[in-house]
Amino acid sequence: MKAFTVHTGIVAPMDRANVDTDMIIPKQFLKSIKRSGFGPNLFDELRYLDEGKPDADNSGRPLNPDFVLNKPRYQGASVLLARENFGCGSSREHAPWALEDFGFRTIIAPSYADIFFNNSFKNGLLPIVLDDKTVDELFKEVEANEGYQLTVDLEAQVIRKPDGSEIPFDVDPFRKHCLLNGLDDIGLTLQDADDIRAYEEKRKQQAPWLFPA
């Protein structure tokens, strides 16, 4: 996993609530057996005017000029500003894979769907929760200032605005540790292999039907 320490980037505003995982990466693109290459189909149905097909060349497709990520001022954006319940719907990890592959490193929203939130951390994509009012203000500032950038400092747990002011944010200490160091969860869990075996032995006594021979 890619480590996340300090990131500065252009902010793109996605001004709608309940952005679901079918919107983030439509189902026809879930057929890949790889983790990469989903970026060109991120927000496919909003981004292009025609219907997207898996394994097709996306370079010549007609773009929807009204879609935020197609606007010249948001080119190269790597910070996504979003509304409540971002990432609702399916458990597809293809959603954070697509956001990450497109170039996003962090998302700022008032709330996320649980599974999406979880999946993001496992892919070096930092989902930040800020209150509604702060998110609203950021939407206004992004709208008003072309080239608006934010700096996200995970170690310090602050977002730095262009005027130098800081917005603090909360993050789970374990997830922060993994993200800062780009650590693989599995390796960490396997350090507890003896605890897992001890649990299994105890459980076999209590609930032997869960361990058919």
173 binds other proteins (CB under 8 A): yes
133 binds other proteins (CB under 8 A): no
Which residues share a beta bridge with 97? none
Q: Please identify, among the stretches 62-70, 99-107, 119-127, 152-160, the one whose residues bind other proteins according to the rule CB under 8 A.
A: 119-127
How far apart are the C-alpha atoms of 53 and 75, rounded to whole Å?
A: 24
In Å, how far are 118, 204, 207, 208 from 212, measured between CA atoms?
A: 32, 9, 10, 7
203 binds other proteins (CB under 8 A): yes
Kindly state the tokens that stand for 117: 């939130």
The binder of other proteins chosen from 84, 137, 141, 153 (CB under 8 A): 84
Q: Please identify, among the stretches 3-11, 65-73, 149-157, 188-196, the one whose residues bind other proteins according to the rule CB under 8 A.
A: 188-196
In the complex, what is the shortest distance from the CB of residue 128 to other proteins, in angstroms, rounded to a whole number?
16
186 binds other proteins (CB under 8 A): yes
The binder of other proteins chosen from 58, 67, 89, 129 (CB under 8 A): 89
142 binds other proteins (CB under 8 A): no
Residue type, 94: H
The binder of other proteins chosen from 7, 30, 103, 141 (CB under 8 A): 30
In the complex, what is the shortest distance from the CB of residue 67 to other proteins, in angstroms, rounded to a whole number?
13
88 binds other proteins (CB under 8 A): yes
Q: Contact 83/15 with Cβ under 8 angstroms?
A: yes
DSSP letter at 138 equals: H
Question: Which H, E and C letters describe 65-130, residue by residue?
Answer: CCCHHHCHHHCCCCEEEECCCECECCCCCHHHHHHHHHCCCEEEECCECHHHHHHHHCCCCEEEEC
111 binds other proteins (CB under 8 A): yes
DSSP assignment string, 164-204: S-EEE----HHHHHHHHHT--HHHHHHTTHHHHHHHHHHHH
Nearest CA to 104 out of 75, 125, 120 is that of 125
Angle, CA of 86, 87 and 88, to the nearest 5°: 100
125 binds other proteins (CB under 8 A): no
62 binds other proteins (CB under 8 A): no
Q: List residues binding other proteins (CB under 8 A).
A: 16-18, 20, 22-23, 26-28, 30-35, 45, 51, 54-55, 83-85, 88-93, 96, 111, 113-115, 118-119, 122-123, 172-174, 184-186, 189-190, 192-193, 195-196, 199-200, 203, 206-210, 212
